[in-house]
Amino acid sequence: MDIEANFEGFSQLELLDLSRNGIEFLNEKAFSSLVGLKTFLLSENKLGKMAKTYTEMFARLFSSYNNLSFLDLSHNSIDSIPHELFLSNTHLVHVDLSQNRLTEVTFKCRHLKALEVLNLRGNMLTVLDAATQATLDNVPHTTFIQISENAFTCSACQDYSTIGWMIKHQKVIDYDHLRCRNENENFVNVTQTIQKYLKDVCEKPLKIKITIYVTVGIATLFCVTGCASAYIIVKRRKHRRQTRQRLDTITKLLDGRLEFLVFLQYSSKDENFVHTNVYPHLDGHLRRLVPIDNDVISFGDKDFRVGKSILDETIRCTKSSAAVMLLLTDNFVNSEYCLNEFDVAYRVGKPVIMMLKGDVDMTRAPPVIRDLFHTYVRVLWKCDDNGEYSMTTSWENVCHAILESR
């Protein structure tokens, strides 16, 4: 209806009924002269097309009716109500928006102080989102709201807020007729039982996470505790084993089954280094650990007997010692005599503690020494910028390695 007529003679008309006319468009100025209009019936038309196509004009459709108190827009296939639609209608008492296609309600209504009934029945509301809840919260507390016959759902966590809002607000006068579609696609009454079910649905992921975290935490705690306990047990067993080995070695030395603690092998070209850096320190630390006055370190120049075979004396000193200590240098690997002496000692089967002085060309060493070099932890002697050598470990560790040899 796109007309602009002069109805000034009807300015005091209070009721205008245009329902059931199939109206798709209504000019905002068509009845603007009806300033006394209080009841405007527009149900069962097609104003949804105007609301969608001429949104701004539809938003001004009722701006001339300042005295309007009853407005019926039901059955018009309206998808959305403009925010400003009722801005001029401060005297509205009853607004009927039922049987449309509204999916949300976001029009301004805080100023509608006289509003008593807001009918939203039979729309397409599935949830009351935050914006819709805010709009409905802004209507006067004396306003009654009708929202039954909508397509509310109550199957997922996102529905919890909607169901909770409808249960909490007493302004919903058709509460007993509210129904929602559950997870089985069945419509059920909106009750506190449904609200509790949705709360459980919302809390389920959190409960699962908490269960997982607690389970993982407990498992981790048990694992850490088990690993720590195993580590402590292994460490204690190792300590007890090392203590027994040290006591066993010392006992053998004291009762004569061993004559020495260590048989020291080195090249004669490194004799000065041995008697300056190795022998005095090693001897002093061993004597602190072993209560004996006899020499506990054996080496060829001191302990080989005159007139005896070097081979036999090497075997004797090796068998009489708890371990063999080898000072590995370039001088040693380049000496056929030293290598033969070590080979004899190695065949006796005693543990070998390797000391490495500086950088040694291991390509010249025999396979057995290379294997020892790559297999066992070795004691390193490093040379500083002043030509002074220092050992990378402590003498206490070296002494324990000797006493714990098997």
pLDDT tens for each residue of 30-67? 888 898 999 999 999 999 999 999 999 999 999 999 99
Q: What dotted CATH number matches 8-203?
A: 3.80.10.10
- Look at the block and give the residue holding tokens 């919302």: 202
Lowest-pLDDT range of 17-26, 95-104, 121-130, 253-262: 253-262
Sign of CA dihedral 318, 324, 329, 334: positive
What is the Cβ-side half-sphere exposure of residue 8, based on CA atoms within 13 angstroms?
Answer: 1
Domain 258-403 has CATH 3.40.50.10140: yes
- Look at the block and give the residue holding tokens 């959305």: 80
Q: What is the pLDDT of residues 329-385, one digit of tens each?
A: 999 989 888 888 888 888 888 888 889 988 888 888 888 888 887 777 678 989 888
How far CA 214 is from CA of 14, 187, 205, 217, 390, in Å, comes to 70, 38, 14, 5, 53
DSSP state of 304: S
Lowest-pLDDT range of 8-22, 139-153, 169-183: 8-22
Residues of the chain with pLDDT > 90: what percent? Answer: 47
Strands 260-265 and 297-298: parallel
- The rounded distance, in Å, linking the Cα atoms of 9 and 11 is 6
* Amino acid 5: pLDDT: 53
Locate the domains of the chain by residue range.
Answer: 8-203, 204-257, 258-403
Nearest Cα to Cα of residue 125 among 162, 161, 155:
162
- The rounded distance, in Å, linking the Cα atoms of 163 and 296 is 90
| pTM of the predicted model as reported, rounded to 2 decimal places | 0.56
* Statement: residue 150 has pLDDT above 60: yes
- The rounded distance, in Å, linking the Cα atoms of 13 and 288 is 122
Task: Tell me the pLDDT of the chain averaged across its residues.
Answer: 89
* Statement: residue 4 has pLDDT above 80: no
Q: Are 108 and 83 a contacting pair, CB within 8 Å?
A: yes
* Amino acid 84: pLDDT: 94
The torsion defined by the Cα of 105, 109, 113 and 119, in degrees rounded to 10, comes to: -20
- The rounded distance, in Å, linking the Cα atoms of 75 and 48 is 9
